[in-house]
Amino acid sequence: MSQIRSRAVRIDKSGGPEEMKVVEVTVGEPGPGEIRIRHHAVGLNFIDVYQRTGLYPFPMPLQLGMEGAGVVEAVGAGVTHLKIGDRAAYASQPPGAYCDVRVMPAKCVCKLPDGISFETGAAMMLKGLTAQYLLRKTLPVEGLQRGDFVLFHAAAGGVGQIACQWARELGLQLIGTAGSDAKCALAKANGAAHVINYNTEDFLVRVKEITGGQGVKVVYDSVGKDTWDKSLDCLRPFGLMASFGNSSGSPAPFAPGLLGPKGSIYVTRQTLFTHIATRESTQAMADELFAVVASGKVKINIDQRYKLEDVQQAHRDLEARKTTGSTILTL
């Protein structure tokens, strides 16, 4: 059994960015259903913060990171969709992407088309697959048609920028919120039909103005506590409140009875890992993402790059909302 040395970012207990340490680890051979991949770049996501702080608990010590891109170095028994030398990218459980080399389940790893760079691959998988399942699979009971209004919070973030572009391609009227005029301009430049600075405007009032009092068919919300109550009131009858994160904290518990008077509305809490639970669904979603990126209709904006050794600063900037678009760690 060959042993390979690799740098990896690990925490021994939950806490702040200072808990992350770059350590040297030993990487062995892949077992059945696994591959070994050597990363060229690694993606940074808010879920990494949730795991680091313990909001999403994991056994310790924990190696962080949920997405990356690189070259397949070894393939375990039973893996047929990848071979040694393949360019590949993934968003996947379990965590562990913040490293040079890792052994991991092959199920969620996809061949990366030649026309897409490793950096783009690392930056796009988790956010791009999230945008895919939101806009293409997390739909109101009446569906979405061209011209329909949807509200997307944190529209200048990594998922938001992809969603703005993809929604424009689908003919949707995406109303994007962000916390500054500069971030609103970014969302607008990426295809948002309307933008709202929620620090200077009441987004509920503006949504009702924009939609002629009708409201939106869907709210896509990764913010949580700070946007929850007003978001419910932004929905038209039979609308869908689609929660997929809680960067401001979890919303307060609510009584289902309030959904009736608000228009018989629906509420769902989505997570990417349900959608990519099988090899087949992962590949189908990735194929659609790769196609829309390769076509140029969706551009992956990498606005920040940090070295692996600077991961603490990367997390500080992410939590302080200093980042826009996608962020990667370079190796």
pLDDT digits (tens, 9 = 90+) for 132-191: 999 999 999 999 999 999 999 999 988 999 999 999 999 999 999 999 999 999 999 999
Give percent above pLDDT 90 in the chain.
93
**Yes or no: domain 139-269 corresponds to CATH 3.40.50.720:** yes
**Yes or no: domain 4-127+274-330 corresponds to CATH 3.20.20.70:** no
Q: Model-level pTM?
A: 0.93
pLDDT digits (tens, 9 = 90+) for 295-304: 999 999 999 9
Q: What is the 3-state secondary structure (H, E, C) of the chain?
A: CCCEEEEEEEECCCCCHHHCEEEEEEECCCCCCEEEEEEEEEEECHHHHHHHHCCCCCCCCEECCCEEEEEEEEECCCCCCCCCCCEEEEECCCCCCCECEEEEECCCEEECCCCCCHHHHHHHHHHHHHHHHHHHHCCCCCCCCCCCEEEECCCCEHHHHHHHHHHHHHCCEEEEEECCHHHHHHHHHCCCCEEEECCCCCHHHHHHHHCCCCCEEEEEECCCCCCHHHHHHCEEEEEEEEECCCCCCCCCCCCHHHHCCCCCCEEEECCHHHHCCCHHHHHHHHHHHHHHHHCCCCCCCEEEEEEHHHHHHHHHHHHCCCCCEEEEEEC
Could you tell me the pLDDT band of residue 202, with boundaries at 50, 70 and 90? very high
Could you tell me the pLDDT band of residue 249, with boundaries at 50, 70 and 90? confident
Domain boundaries, the chain: 4-127+274-330, 139-269
For residue 319, is pLDDT > 70?
yes
* Same fold: 4-127+274-330 with 139-269: no
Average pLDDT over residues 269-283: 95
